[in-house]
Amino acid sequence: MTNKTCNILFCGIGGQGVLKASEICGWAAIFDGYHVKKSEVHGMSQRGGSVESHLRFGNKVFSPLITAGCVDYLVSFHQDENTRMKKFLKPDGVDLGKYLDKAQAQIQDPKHLNTFLVGVLSAFLPIKEANWIKAIEKVFPGKLLSQNKEVFFKGRRMIKI
């Protein structure tokens, strides 16, 4: 457990599974015992607009939105959105946008991008692996579960810290 609130910004466009990714991460943080808040900016995601999902966890979280310039981890699903949202990172924040090309090369189905990127992100966060697995089990129903677990580990193992 860390005492500091962790700020993660997921961004992409409607239909890419951005909200599912922040949902998995939210559950993982809950299972790890944190107070969690998650909030989206820009609606009408099914209509192809920009989607931003803010996820924050820690001992006690007040704001559901991350203050501009305070993002610890930026998880981008689309190059344009990555460029647009970079300014929200704090000076020593981690831009996972650099893994987007590799992620896209490694997945067979674009539907798996969200789980893959969650795998990448998981390698940076102080959340136990068992709780990531529980979160994935929570979010993906029966048939999709084993595939998504596999994709998650592909992403997680791509990062060597």
Binding site for another protein (CB under 8 A): 13-14, 23, 26-27, 30-31, 34-40, 42-44, 46-50, 62-69, 80-81, 84, 138
Q: In the bound complex, what is the minimum distance in angstroms from residue 151's beta carbon to another protein?
A: 22
CA 65 to chain centre: 15
Nearest residue (CB) to another protein, 44 versus 102: 44
Pick the closest to residue 138 from 124, 152, 156 (CA basis).
152
Residues 6+ apart with CB under 8 A from 58: 2, 3, 4, 5, 6, 34, 35
Q: In the bound complex, what is the minimum distance in angstroms from residue 153's beta carbon to another protein?
A: 22
Nearest residue (CB) to another protein, 70 versus 158: 70
Nearest residue (CB) to another protein, 11 versus 151: 11
Q: In the bound complex, what is the minimum distance in angstroms from residue 94's beta carbon to another protein?
A: 20
- Report yes or no: 148 and 140 within 8 Å, Cβ to Cβ: yes
- Report yes or no: 95 and 89 within 8 Å, Cβ to Cβ: yes
- Report yes or no: 71 and 8 within 8 Å, Cβ to Cβ: yes
Nearest residue (CB) to another protein, 137 versus 158: 137
Q: In the bound complex, what is the minimum distance in angstroms from residue 160's beta carbon to another protein?
A: 31
